[in-house]
Every structure is written in structure tokens, then in C-alpha cells.
Structure 1
Amino acid sequence: MYAEANRLCREHWGVEFAGRIELVKRPWRRYNGVCRYSKSLTPNGIEWDVAIIMSEKRNAERTREEILSTLLHELVHWRLFTEGLKRGGLQYARSIARDDSPEFVRECQRVGASFSHTIAAQKAAKRYGGQR
């Protein structure tokens, strides 16, 4: 998974993937993947752990192409959140990394990532990206 994440990050943003990938054993039905942000206090100050989480059991039911499509979608979350932290702080990062933000929709379109099937994400895809 890390090799594919690095390949996709280099291809679309010219960087290595600097997050974490976690595969859980729980069976998921509602989600294909999740990008979680958590902070911790370290001797160097606050550091953010950005993790892409996927279910091993859910992945076993899907094709390689479907899994990579989900991975790319979650990498868009990772990229926008980490870059948003640098450019505008936490509130800004959270706002642009949401499924329903114009920045997220446009970046998904630019890199060819899929959209979530939530109502809010689908409305945003129509509003900001012309998706049907």
C-alpha cells in the first residue's frame, strides 16, 4: 500500500507520502476508506498524525482498481490537510480537506479521484465540479 501511495503522490504532487496507512480487521460496509487527523504533543511541539485507514475485509471484496481509487481519494484528503496546515492553520486545513469543499472537489477532478457517495459530497461535486 505504501508503494502505491508513494507512486500516486509522486505522480500527482511530486512528493513522497508522509502519512500513515492502517489496515483494520473490522468489516466495513459504509466506508471504503477514511483519512483521520490526530495531534500529539511532542518535545518539538504539536505534531499531526495523518492516517489513511482501510478495512482488510472490505478490500478483500474489491478489485485492485477500486482499492487504488479509494487510496487516491484518501490521499487527496491527506494532501489538502497537510498543505492546508502549512498555509493557513488547522481551521483552514480542515475546511479544504472536507469532501464537500470546493478545493477538495477540484483536486479530486484534477487527479482523477473518485467522490464519496454521501449526499453532501455528491452535491458538492455537482456544485463545484459539474459532476452529474
Structure 2
Amino acid sequence: MPDVSLDWLNKNAAMLVKKHWGLKHIPKIEIDLERDSFDWKRNVGYYCNDIETIVFSSQVNKRKSEREIKKILLHELVHWYLHTTGQRFRDSDERFARELIRVGLGKQHNSDEQSVLAAKAAWKRKKDERFEIIEENEEGIITARLRHHRKNGEDFKRDLANTLIRAHNEREEDITIYPGDIADMMCEWYGYKLEPLARVAIRISSRGSYLSGEIGDRDDISEVLHHELDMTYSEIDLKLKDFEEEELEAANEDS
């Protein structure tokens, strides 16, 4: 029978929030807080969003192992983290289900219909999620595509930053490192899986100074067709509409 004290819960909460979200503060945690809405026959823990407090029952804790209670604590911490950062935090929300996957509790969702549906949607989204590292050289663009069964975009950015720093600090003098090498390191150090490289990747977004990511206007598209897709300017002029000329012709007709 575990001795789950308030001090034990606070210490484990501090460890978990630092590990999963890099936070130094934790929510208030109580044992045996009385509320009419609590059903301790069905639940092991509660997150009370109106008072931002996680609640446990001493009687229920006696029937659970420390490992089980730690999982429930993390589950309730996910509620707390999403709620206090302004995100959807209920068991029936896909966002909540995605965060459960991220912290390693993907199968620890509630068994009601809405929670199950949210978990299925989260797993489908996770299955389709990919991260990319791009190498641009004189021959073109090569994309290394990575996936991870738990991590999200912010995790990927943090892992990539740490990999670049470590790769630089540990490399021997005059050793050249390519983006593909970084991808391999992320697989080795952080558990990413590398999919076959995309050998042909073409940048088609506008190359203007604002870097908005949009396709751009006629001139931008013309440059992509010429420089990236090997079309001549004469071919491009025949195929691309010139709205300025159309407007000029219309204005002449009106006059």
C-alpha cells in the first residue's frame, strides 16, 4: 500500500511539469477536498478548473500503486497546463488527446464516447504528422522528412536546436556537417524516424523581402517558372495572364 502524501504529490508534480513543459511552478494539489460533484467510485483524480486545483482521495490512493497514481497525476496536470495556457483542456477535446500522446499517456484517456473519438482523431493526426529539414545547395533542394510517435512541432524545434548546438560543439576541426547528418543525429539522440529523402524539392513561394510564404504575383511566378522549372520567358509570356495589360485594354475601350 503506497504512502501517497501531499508532499509526494507535489514533488512528483514538480518533476513532471519540468520534464514535459519546462515549468518551475505547479498547480495547487489537495487530498480529500469535499465537493458534491466528485465520484470516487469512477475517478482516481480530478482537475477543478474553477480553482485550478488537482484533487485526490486518500481512500482511492490506498487502492492504487504509486505508478498508477503518477499516471493519473500527469493526466490531471495535462488538464491544468492546457487550461492555464488558454487551450482546449477537456477530455473530449482533441487538443487534450494530442497532449496526452505527447507526454506518453496516449492510451490513458477516459472511456466515454467523446473522449474515445477525440483520442482517435488525435492519433490519426499524429500518424500523418511529419517534420522536415531542408538542404539547399547548387543542385537544388533536398528534404529530410522525420516523424516521431509522440513529439510535436515545438519539441521538434527544441530538439533541432539542441542537435545543431551539440553537433557543432562536438565536431572535429574541418569536419563538414550536412542537414542529412543532423537528421541522422536526431534519430539517434531523440528517437525520430527518418523517411526516404525527397530528392526533388522546389521552392515556389514568393522570394520577396517579407517572406510571407505566399505564391506571389505574376512576376514572382514567372521567376519560379524560369529559374526552377526551366521555362523560357517567351513561353511564360504566352501562358501567364497579364492583368495590367487587360486593365489597360479595358480602359482604352471605355475611352
TM range (shorter): 0.7 to 0.9
- Larger % of helix: which? 1
Q: Which runs of 5+ in 2 are unaligned?
A: 1-8, 125-255
Aligned Cα RMSD in Å?
A: 2.0
Moved over 6 A (4+): none
Quick check: 2:45–2:57 contact (8 Å CA) kept in 1? Answer: yes
Q: Which has the higher contact order (CA 8 A, sep 6+)?
A: 1
Are 2:113 and 1:119 equivalent residues in the alignment? Answer: yes
Match of 1:51 in 2: 53
Match of 2:47 in 1: 35
Query: What TM-score, normalized to structure 1?
Result: 0.76
What SS does the aligned partner of 2:47 have? strand
What amino acid does structure 2 have at the position aligned with 1:11? K
What SS does the aligned partner of 1:35 have? strand
Query: What TM-score, normalized to structure 2?
Result: 0.41
Match of 2:98 in 1: 106
CA distance in 2, matches of 1:76, 1:58: 21
Are 2:122 and 1:128 equivalent residues in the alignment? Answer: yes
Say which of 73, 84, 91 aligns to 2:75.
73
Q: Which has the larger radius of gyration?
A: 2
What amino acid does structure 2 have at the position aligned with 1:60? K
CA distance in 1, matches of 2:58, 2:42: 14
Are 2:24 and 1:16 equivalent residues in the alignment? Answer: yes
What SS does the aligned partner of 2:52 have? strand
Match of 2:85 in 1: 83
CA deviations on 1:65-87 (whole Å, 9 max, x unpaired) are 10000000000000000011xxx
Report % sequence identity: 34
Match of 1:6 in 2: 14
Which stretch of the first structure deviates more once superposed, 109-118 or 6-15?
A: 109-118
Quick check: 1:22–1:53 contact (8 Å CA) kept in 2? Answer: yes
> How far is 1:30 from its partner?
0.8
Q: Which runs of 5+ in 1 are unaligned?
A: 39-48, 85-92
Quick check: 2:30–2:54 contact (8 Å CA) kept in 1? Answer: yes
> How far is 1:115 from its partner?
1.2
Question: Aligned pairs, how many?
Answer: 111
